Structure 1
Amino acid sequence: MAQDLCFWNDFELKKPPLVTIEVENTGFAKNVFVAINKFLQQMGGQDFDETAALIGRLMTRRKNSFRNMPGFRAICKLNSALCRLLRLDLCRDLEQFRGSLPDVYVEDTEGALPTKSSFEFILVRLLAFYYLHKRIAECCLSAASYFTKLLRSNFFMDFTTLLIAAIAKIKKLSADQATQSAQLYNKLRQHRNSFPEVKNHKFLPDNQELPENLEPMKSLKSEAKEEKPQSVLLKPKEVVTRVQKSKSDVGMVIARKETSKPSFNEAALATVEDAQRFIARETKARKQNPLPEDCFTGKISKHEWLAAQKLFHQKLSKDPAKALSLFRKFVVSKIK
């Protein structure tokens, strides 16, 4: 069973000999030729090869410093898928098969067509091309989600930005090529039984079968269109309120008594002894927590209070009247 699933991924798959057989009707071959020719014209760009080469160079540049990062391992897997896609060389096989088709396409006209085995080989190569691009898309998403987180933390800003840009470009180009290959496969698959078959030379074993059709990969634009923006407006909830009748009796008015704070009297500092008692009382009150209501110097900072006491005691021995006057002015200016 595993061999059946990996049949398209077998790069050592032997190509059947390109043999042409005379048939009676070659009219359907025109549709095959037109589909293959259109696909080859669409695959003519070099942007995919240049971007794939850029990713390979970026991987080689940081293979030592980033080797243990999960996102960098996804880059290595992406590079391996790109290398396998390069080895596949689908365009060469399509050109060879297109060259074996007849030059004139007229219904009910005899002509030489390649065998069914050669046509099935082309279909298998289209399957390999399609599933490799799906693998590339998976690796791109895995690597981009990891390196976007590193970009938010400004980790190797220049390198990470360039790498994410290359991953985004290869993802877009890969999705386009996968869609084109799926469309070509769906067009060619319906003509499988129209090609002549050689009984003794079958390409597909009996236990293997090709899928009926392939689903085109969704591009970034189609995914953005399908995602409908959610409405950010919230509908306000209906609030049902009950109308209450106002009452005439609203209670009794209570008068609050105002508490009077003790006021400072300058006459309390009439003499030097009064000043000394005031200093002792205030110093004791300032040490309490919380401060009592009769502490008048609570708003004075500690260093100012100590400086006022020091100045008072220095002037007291020389000029008691001046010491008392300076201390009284200091206290009055700070309290009132």
Structure 2
Amino acid sequence: MEMENPYFWNEFELKQPPLMTLQVEDTGFAKNVFVVINRFVQQLSEPEAKDFEETAALIGRLMARRKNSFRHMPGFRAVCKLNSALCRLLRLDLARDLIQFRGALPDVCDEELGGAMPTRSSFEFVLVRLLGFYHLHERIRECCLMAASYFTQLLRNNYFMEFITLLIAAIAKIRKLSSLQASRGATLYNKLRPHVANFPLVAKHKFLAEGQALPAKLEPPKSTQMPATAASNPPDLVLKPKKVVTKMEKAKLEAKSDVGTVIARKETPSQSVTKSKFNEEALATVADAQKFIVRETKARKQNPPPESCLTKNISKHEWLAAQTLFQRKMTKDPAKALSIFRKFIVSKIKQ
């Protein structure tokens, strides 16, 4: 390892020193080392650890499923970074290194009895692995916050509600379990760190380079809870009281729901809907919404868009997402599709 590298714990292929033992006169301290390592290894097999692995796998599948839909969005890039950190944590395999070191400790630990003890280099290697474990979880929590902050904004606008709700729930659960594991890792490190000087040192197998030092203490995460965001307090997605639809109006909507493919036609300025005259009644039916989408899509393609283009201030990915959601919902529930699309347009135009 290079001396100038302050993040030596982040080496992907960290070279492990040979696990050898030396005879020492006092082995009493090894009992405490064995107990805290054994407790941590047991915690890694508890249900919380299994939940962490299952939720991490779910995030990986969700990312792969929607990579074409969200690949250019900042929030999705944060999810990709989160997935990379989770995969890195899996490859770290801290439990394997701890179990291997625990097996080299003496069977009988007594202050008045000597015994074979692993070298200081092997012990420092375990501490560096704990540092990597701790900082990877720190990275995971940062990515969770970045991703949740972005996707919560989409959730407010009814975009991909089912998918995003599931994704935010998975991210919140990963962050909570990550805080728990990081706290346990910090506790183990803080209990092991004072014992460094008790392990025998072999100069030719020295693990840490000159200038590299292990921190004296790790601070556990301050909170194991997801901060209060729209993920924990969902926003009110209803812009106004729901309009009561009579049976006659419902029949008219159903009759107009199957209108085939709408063809854009050139309109005169008097026919176009301007921003000053726009109201929700312009989107009273599914057919009106379809004509509105065709007209606005054609206007948005002009450079620059004309003044009559009501959606010119809506970003490209938001406009495409609104259309996709409208088309998907329309096949099952035209009235609900129209309601969601109309609320989105009104919220954007009246901002």
User: Under a length normalisation based on structure 1, what TM-score does the superposition of the two structures give?
Assistant: 0.65
One-letter code aligned to 1:41: Q
Aligned partner of 1:136 in structure 2 is: 140
8 Å Cα contact 1:85/1:132 also seen in 2:
yes
1:4 positional shift: 2.4
Report the secondary structure of 2:99's partner residue.
Answer: helix
Alignment of 1:175-324 (within 5 A): 175-221=179-225
Aligned partner of 1:88 in structure 2 is: 92
Aligned partner of 1:111 in structure 2 is: 115
8 Å Cα contact 1:55/1:79 also seen in 2:
yes
Report the secondary structure of 1:102's partner residue.
Answer: coil
Backbone CA RMSD of aligned residues: 1.5
**Where in structure 2 are there 5+ consecutive unaligned residues?**
229-351
1:16 pairs with 2:17: yes
CA distance in 1, matches of 2:80, 2:225: 27
Report the secondary structure of 2:210's partner residue.
Answer: coil
8 Å Cα contact 1:176/1:219 also seen in 2:
no
CA distance in 2, matches of 1:13, 1:175: 25
1:11 positional shift: 1.6
One-letter code aligned to 1:138: E
8 Å Cα contact 2:3/2:209 also seen in 1:
no
Aligned partner of 1:29 in structure 2 is: 30
Q: Percent identity?
A: 69
8 Å Cα contact 1:123/1:189 also seen in 2:
yes
1:6 pairs with 2:10: no
Report the secondary structure of 1:191's partner residue.
Answer: helix
1:219 positional shift: 2.6
Aligned partner of 1:98 in structure 2 is: 102
1:169 pairs with 2:169: no
CA distance in 1, matches of 2:36, 2:110: 17
1:220 positional shift: 3.7
Report the secondary structure of 1:200's partner residue.
Answer: helix
8 Å Cα contact 1:90/1:125 also seen in 2:
yes
CA distance in 1, matches of 2:112, 2:181: 35
Segments ≥4 residues shifted beyond 4 Å: 221-224
1:165 positional shift: 0.3
Report the secondary structure of 2:138's partner residue.
Answer: helix
Report the secondary structure of 1:78's partner residue.
Answer: helix
One-letter code aligned to 2:85: A
Greater Cα radius of gyration, structure 1 or 2: 1
